[in-house]
Amino acid sequence: MPGVGSPAPNFSGHDFINDTTFTLAGHAGEIILLCFSAYWCPHCTNEVPRLQNIWQDFAGHGVQVILVHVDGTESDGLAWLTGLGATFPAIQDTSSIFSAYSPGYGGIPHLYIIGRDMVIRKDLLGEMSEDTLRGHLMDVVYMREPIDLEMVMDVSDSMNSSPPGGGDPKLEIMKTAATIITDFLKDHGQTDDRMGLVWFTDDASEYQNTLHQKLLPIPGNWADLRSQINAHGTGMYTAMGAGLQTAFDTLTAGSANKRFAILCTDGMQNIEPKVTQVGSHFEIIDSGGWVAGAHSSVPAHPGVDITSYDTCIHTIGIGIQATYAGLLQDIANATGGFYRGTNDPENDLDLIYLLDLCNCMAGGSPAVAHHSTGRLDAGECEAVEYFYLNRSARKITVILSWNKSEGGDLTFWLYGPDGSLLHLGQEMKLFENHCLATVYLPVDQNGVRLTHVGRWRMVIRGETLGSGADYHAFVIAEDREVHFHLEPPKRIYEVGDILPIRIKLTESQKPVVRVKDIIMETAQLRVTPAELCSRYKVSAYELAAQTKSALSGYKNSPLAAKLKALAADPAYKELLKPVRKRSSLLEGSLECQTDEKEIVIPVTLKQPGLVSYKVSINCETPQSGPIYRTDMVTVYVGPGKADPGQTKVSRTVILGEKHTGALIIMTPKNEYGQLLGPGLGHEFSATDGRQSVDITVTDQLDGTYRMEIVNLARSKGETPISIQYRGKSIWKGELKGE
């Protein structure tokens, strides 16, 4: 039985409508709607006028309609079709055409859409409205380049913990987000789109089905993929380099598809090989440094630049952002991807995954037209969300998700701008903790074409457990006329820098810079990670004993141990929740600059750490009507240079018979008085005015550093000492001799 992605079986027969011979292969290079029907079938009768309308509208534009009459006689078919006004080709099935496509008589009407390459692209059983039929046809007309997508997922032990706000563990939040985009691709994916699953913990592992496929065609394997995503457990460590190399090896094994990977992690890599900067590029190599366990089974690839794999990598960081945030941003920048991070995955992660997927599918022009969060309380009958659609949107997928830990069973109803309730029927798909529906536009319902331009109403109802359920509502719009995105930051920024958030909005390839409103939601921690660490004046292991936090595998990384223990401390729960601030152009709390091509929001960066900006725009144009779009950028802000005037230093001189030295306690701060933070011991060096001297730096993990300078030959004069941070002097002093 040929399925989606298989060559369409050829056939020939007498076209009894036009009294000619019809051969399927003679229409190679056209898009073919092949419909199996019978004169006695009422659903087939309803579908014939819709096929006729498409036949007339696309005449001369490379679309062919052919109906195969599967029962009765040619005379029955001729009388039936001419009575309905059909003029497209039709043949009588006298040579088992239907059984070649659908063995066992699969029911009618049964429609196949065959691509220009004579490959089956759609397999559609049952009657459907004309707008839905046209939508499926346009999916094939506007086929983009197929993609190969590897989902590279961190399943280390730390993913079992919940974020500071509580709720589902990070692992479950990641599984939900990955499952949602898999379900989304069932409707939006193309025949040749493929997905692979890679997990990394103590080692890397990869799913392979019974056909030994590692990259599975999505439309026919989505159920298998979502099952595997949700079945995987966790290990202990973080073999990120091994996971990424496994994805590269599979993606480059002979496919001509465009290559993408979405990498999600919550911690620092601690198993060899690691993604490591070598000169101006990155390789996956055995880099030394601290490790938590044995080498993974994946060999290092020294000398191989990760950009040579021709794969765009979107990176996602979850949790307290430490030294690995810069690495994730560098990986994304080097390969043409986006880095997005979050300290609040319960609110952000599914949005980030959907934004990354939209970027992977940019050839099909999907975009997030709406994203909102809300709560359906147990005592309420319903919650309502509103969204807007523009004229050129041809297809939307509406998604509703809710927290798994809160339970419940939610669904939604859609009302168009004129108040009409849409009959979603089989388009509504219900899952454990999310549901979605795809609607082709415009909508024909009960013989009436409903307007889709304007404000829609989404009514959310259902049963909740306990006090209620938090939910997320999304609308993904496919639109080939309107394009919107934010430019990702291309470098690491520091406190005091101005981050230009560049908004690119085009309509029919022409820039749009006049908007009604821009709403920006900024999210960052109340207290910087460095300040949080400074409040812990105990070692990581003492802290672990207090919080009963397991620290297995962290012996060689005290900073990682401290961050893990800090995240588990209930006393710091509120401080680890990001603060969200809303600003609006319309309300006067947001400023922007415009030129002929783009809108720029200049943001002065005032605090070190992770900052995310969710930007939503709305405007109205004569061509498109109301345009609403949402995107998100993330930047990790470094503390900047050490300032000698702000840095605190205390020292003790050590005198011996032949040598002298010093014990220096230093708390480096930037010009704004902010701690530079732990994890920077390797950035310090020392000189005696003539040459470098040996210095031992011990990171106290609270923003202070213990520095020992020894083996300086004693002299009767003074020996000048200079401490440098990143090559620039931060403190100067003298060690007095006898």
pLDDT in tens, 682-699: 889 998 877 888 888 988
Query: Does residue 345 register a pLDDT over 60?
Result: yes
Please tell me whether residues 176 and 277 are part of one structural domain: yes
- Alpha-carbon distance of 204 to 202, in angstroms, equals 7
Per-residue pLDDT of 348-399, as tens digits, reads 999 999 999 999 987 668 999 999 999 999 888 899 999 999 999 989 999 9
Share of the chain above pLDDT 90, in %: 59
Per-residue pLDDT of 276-299, as tens digits, reads 999 999 999 998 777 778 899 999
Please tell me whether residues 249 and 266 are part of one structural domain: yes
Query: Does residue 650 register a pLDDT over 90?
Result: no
Establish if 631 belongs to a structural domain: no
pLDDT of residue 551: 45
Tokens of 220: 């026919």
pLDDT of residue 66: 96
Establish if 1 belongs to a structural domain: no
Give the chain's domain count: 5
pLDDT of residue 547: 46
- Alpha-carbon distance of 111 to 118, in angstroms, equals 15
User: Who contacts 642 (Cβ-Cβ below 8 Å, separation ≥6)?
Assistant: 668, 669, 670, 676, 725, 726, 728, 730
The CATH code of the domain that includes 375 is 2.60.120.380
Please tell me whether residues 384 and 315 are part of one structural domain: no
CA distance readout (Å), 46 to 71, 102, 114, 126, 342: 17, 21, 22, 11, 50
The confidence band for 14, taking pLDDT boundaries of 50, 70 and 90, is: very high
Computed over every residue of the chain, the mean pLDDT equals: 88
The CATH code of the domain that includes 717 is 2.60.40.10
- Secondary structure letter of residue 297 according to DSSP: S
Please tell me whether residues 610 and 695 are part of one structural domain: no
The confidence band for 502, taking pLDDT boundaries of 50, 70 and 90, is: very high
pLDDT of residue 554: 46
Establish if 17 belongs to a structural domain: yes
Establish if 405 belongs to a structural domain: yes
What is the identity of the amino acid at 376?
A: L
pLDDT of residue 549: 44
Query: Does residue 605 register a pLDDT over 60?
Result: yes
- 698 and 664 in contact (C-beta within 8 Å)? no
Last residue of a domain, one of 314, 343, 364: 364
Last residue of a domain, one of 453, 480, 507: 480
pLDDT of residue 472: 96
SS3 166: coil
Please tell me whether residues 469 and 548 are part of one structural domain: no
Last residue of a domain, one of 315, 330, 364: 364
Please tell me whether residues 199 and 290 are part of one structural domain: yes
Establish if 732 belongs to a structural domain: yes
Tokens of 380: 């309420």
Please tell me whether residues 545 and 654 are part of one structural domain: no
What is the identity of the amino acid at 626?
A: P
Establish if 107 belongs to a structural domain: yes
The CATH code of the domain that includes 305 is 3.40.50.410
Q: Which helix (H) or strand (E) holds 378?
A: none
Please tell me whether residues 217 and 344 are part of one structural domain: yes
Please tell me whether residues 157 and 123 are part of one structural domain: no
Q: What is the domain extent for residue 711?
A: 648-736
Q: What is the pTM of this model?
A: 0.86
Helices (H), 312-379: 324-335, 345-360
More confident residue, 55 or 425: 55
pLDDT of residue 655: 59
The confidence band for 536, taking pLDDT boundaries of 50, 70 and 90, is: low
Please tell me whether residues 571 and 432 are part of one structural domain: no
Tokens of 326: 């810069």
Residues in the chain: 738
Please tell me whether residues 132 and 157 are part of one structural domain: no
Establish if 439 belongs to a structural domain: yes
Please tell me whether residues 334 and 215 are part of one structural domain: yes
Sign of CA dihedral 463, 465, 467, 468: negative
The CATH code of the domain that includes 48 is 3.40.30.10
Strands 517-525 and 110-114: unpaired
Establish if 494 belongs to a structural domain: no
Query: Does residue 553 register a pLDDT over 50?
Result: no
- Alpha-carbon distance of 480 to 394, in angstroms, equals 8
pLDDT of residue 657: 58
Mean predicted confidence (pLDDT) in 321-349: 88
Q: Which helix (H) or strand (E) holds 101?
A: helix 97-101
